[in-house]
Structure 1
Amino acid sequence: MQGLSRTSLVDVEERFNSVAGSADLGTLADELFAVASLFDREPGLRRSLSDPSRPAEQKAQTIRALLEGKVSQAALETTVAAVEAKWSRSGDLADAVERLGVIAAASEAEAGGRLDDVEDELFRFGRILAANPDLRRALADPAATGKESLLADLLGAKVAPTTLRLVSQVAAHPRGRSLERGLEEFGRLVALQRQRLVAVVTSAVLLSDAQKQRLANWLRATYGRDVHLNVEVDPKVLGGFSIKIGDEIIDTTIAARIEEVRRRLAG
């Protein structure tokens, strides 16, 4: 989000924080996901509720008439705050509501002491998709039904409830994103629950706990923030490791050095 929408998002998050404390966070997440899906399905409604020329009070009355008695008070007040705000484009309204659903789900995981599990599981499921094209096609097919049931059978008791909730949201409601991009986006929002960066570390061999801790300490000192490590093993890197944080890549692999020599020789 940019400009006006970014400012509005901060205001809506403040309203969300004021009402979410006493809510059932899992239920709140599901309700906000449902509201975001409603806005996606009904573009006319979304455009009307995000129209900056309409009075905020009028838009609030409209959404209250639609949702009152159908969702919790926390979900209703959060949605009212969202429609009262001003957005740079109508799609930002649905994006904001979904984002708050992810934050509610992450807050539930944090309260249960499972936030680290959720971060790891979202990352690992992304790698499972990359290694299983048939599963990826089944979940990415817009005409497919029963995706939530498939994921419940596949993941079920193997992951935290929050992980299953978030993966199901991405698969059933891609909202123009690929599965991989949706998982990465949700993973970043989960990490923000503790104001942490996420680093994808690719190594030729599995790192020991001590090595991961030293690497995390070095990254914390470098970036001034805690960094969550998602570690994957790829023998093709030959030796060393690479680290990707956002758009920044730190590459110490032998493969990278060989490629650099090749580029210089070719030049």
Structure 2
Amino acid sequence: MNGASREALAAARERLDALTDNTSVDVAKLAGELAAVTAMLDREVSLRRVITDPAQAGEAKAELVGRLLNGQVGGETLDLVSGMVRSRWSRPRDLVDALEELADTAELTGAHRSGALDDVEDELFRFGRIVASSTELRAALTDRTAPGSAKGALLASLLGGKAHPVSERLVARLVTHPRGRSLEAGLESLSKLAAERRSRMVATVTSAVPLSDVQKQRLGAVLAKLYGRQMHLNLDVDPTVLGGIVVRVGDEVIDGTIADRLSEATRRMAG
């Protein structure tokens, strides 16, 4: 997002944080209602344009949203959405993207409250690895012609009772309402949001063999010192790296594997 949308999203995040700091707020209900509003505005292109039209007064747009959502969502959700439509957005789609982010953040806040955020982070990462390893599963979950109910049933068979309810809801919404994103991009976005709940960055670590607890602690400490922030480590095992580790933080890759050094040596010899 750029310009006005970035500022509007920052303000919406602050309002959401203020809401979810109140432990009496049902964050799962809030997340579900925000997701429902996201889906509605994603479908209703004309409505989306009207409530983001900079030529319309913010209060008039808030009143329109109030009439549409009154009785459909709770007061917290209505106040939050009304505040968002009063803001200025660079593109109509930015509002919907922001609502989706707030819905996901509310879910993750609930996991954080219950002490389950680490489990949710790990489950999202593991699910991504399972999908990446099975072309048939990925095809079934991303088939645009398949009804959402069929995808939901498939997810229920995979995750039902085996993952935290927050993980199940997040993955189900991503699969049934991808909104143009790839499954991999959506899971990575969720992983980043989860890390941000406690101001941590995400490092994906690939090693030839599983790391010991001591190695994980040392690596986490080194990366935290290097980047100036706490790190959540998503751990993956790939025997093809031959030894050492590969660490990816955002777009940056730190490769310390034997395979990489052998490749470099081969390139130098060839040169």
Q: Same fold (TM over 0.5)?
A: yes
- Specify the alignment match of 1:61 in structure 2: 63
Distance 1:47 1:264 in 2: 57
Q: What is the identity, as a one-letter code, of the residue corresponding to 2:259?
A: A
Q: CA deviation at 1:199?
A: 0.3
Distance 1:52 1:113 in 2: 42
- Specify the alignment match of 1:84 in structure 2: 86
Q: What is the identity, as a one-letter code, of the residue corresponding to 1:198?
A: V
- Specify the alignment match of 1:263 in structure 2: 267
User: Which stretch shifts more, 107-116 or 218-227?
Assistant: 218-227
Among 169, 177, 181, which residue is 2:181 paired with?
177
List, as ranges, runs of 4+ consecutive aligned residues in structure 1 with deviation greater than 6 Å: none
Q: CA deviation at 1:40?
A: 0.8
- Specify the alignment match of 2:9 in structure 1: 9
Q: What is the identity, as a one-letter code, of the residue corresponding to 2:8?
A: S
- Specify the alignment match of 2:42 in structure 1: 40
User: 1:228-259, CA deviations, whole angstroms, 9 ceiling, x for partnerless residues?
Assistant: 00010101100100100001111000111122
Q: CA deviation at 1:49?
A: 0.9
- Specify the alignment match of 2:250 in structure 1: 246
Q: What is the identity, as a one-letter code, of the residue corresponding to 1:236?
A: T
Are 1:229 and 2:206 an aligned pair? Answer: no
Q: CA deviation at 1:266?
A: 4.0
Are 1:117 and 2:119 an aligned pair? Answer: yes
SS in 2 for 1:117: helix
Distance 1:264 1:27 in 2: 59
Distance 1:265 1:45 in 2: 63
Distance 1:30 1:227 in 2: 29
User: Which stretch shifts more, 56-65 or 2-11?
Assistant: 2-11
Q: Is the 8 A contact 1:200 1:245 kept in 2?
A: yes
SS in 2 for 1:158: coil
Structure 2 unaligned residues grouped into runs of 5+: none
Structure 1 unaligned residues grouped into runs of 5+: none
Q: CA deviation at 1:95?
A: 0.5
User: 1:120-152, CA deviations, whole angstroms, 9 ceiling, x for partnerless residues?
Assistant: 000000000011211111110122121223212
Q: CA deviation at 1:102?
A: 0.8
Relative to the length of structure 1, the TM-score reads: 0.97
Are 1:133 and 2:135 an aligned pair? Answer: yes
Distance 1:206 1:16 in 2: 38
Relative to the length of structure 2, the TM-score reads: 0.95
- Specify the alignment match of 1:19 in structure 2: 19
Distance 2:26 2:182 in 1: 29
SS in 2 for 1:143: coil
User: 1:92-115, CA deviations, whole angstroms, 9 ceiling, x for partnerless residues?
Assistant: 000000000011000100111100
Q: CA deviation at 1:19?
A: 2.9
SS in 2 for 1:79: helix
Cα root mean square deviation, aligned: 1.1
Instruction: Give percent identity, aligned residues only.
Output: 51
SS in 2 for 1:188: helix
